Structures are given as structure tokens and as C-alpha cells.
Amino acid sequence: MDKHYPLDLHVFEEKEEIVEGMLVCQECGRWYPIMDEIPQLLPDDLREQKPELVWLEKWRERVPENVLREGKPFTLR
Ligand SMILES: [Zn+2]
């Protein structure tokens, strides 16, 4: 996963646990989704762009501006 620490946490939906959210590395610009309570901390080459972009679009209003602008490994623009 990410070589940097700490990661910023953005919570989109929370019940007893964080259900949906995002971890963002300010150092390298990488973002990692939290989907169905599970943080997806995968290296770039194991990430699936298409479903992650669908997810990103779904939460677009909540995603930090810098992630939308220049997030890695991919983003909406
Ligand atoms: Zn990083």
C-alpha cells in the first residue's frame, strides 16, 4: 500500500463503522476507497479503474477537490 503516513480520512457514510469513505495521501496524491466498510488499500497495478471511477462519480460531491483534480492512480478528469 502507500509508503507515506498518515493518510487523511474522509467519511462519506457512517453507521457503527465507516461504511463509505476515502483515504488520501497528501504526499503522493493517491486515494483509496473505503467500500462497504472495507478500506481498499491496493497497489496501483491491482486496482480496477472502471468500478472505482463509477464509485468516485457516485461520491463526487464529497470527494476532496484535489483528488478530483489530480488524484492518483486515476481520477474523473
Ligand atoms: Zn503516498
User: Which tens digits make up the pLDDT trace of 1-45?
Assistant: 798 999 999 999 999 999 999 999 999 999 999 999 999 999 999
**Separation of 6 CA from ligand 1 center, angstroms?**
9
pLDDT at position 21: 98
Q: Rounded to the nearest whole angstrom, what is the distance from the C-alpha of residue 61 to the centroid of ligand 1? A: 23
Cell numbers that stand for 12 in this block: 462519506
Quick one: average pLDDT of 47-58?
97
What is the model's pLDDT at position 47? 97
Report the pLDDT value the prediction gives residue 1, as an integer from 0 to 100: 74
Distance set, CA 76 to CA 2, 16, 30, 32, 50 (Å): 21, 30, 14, 14, 10
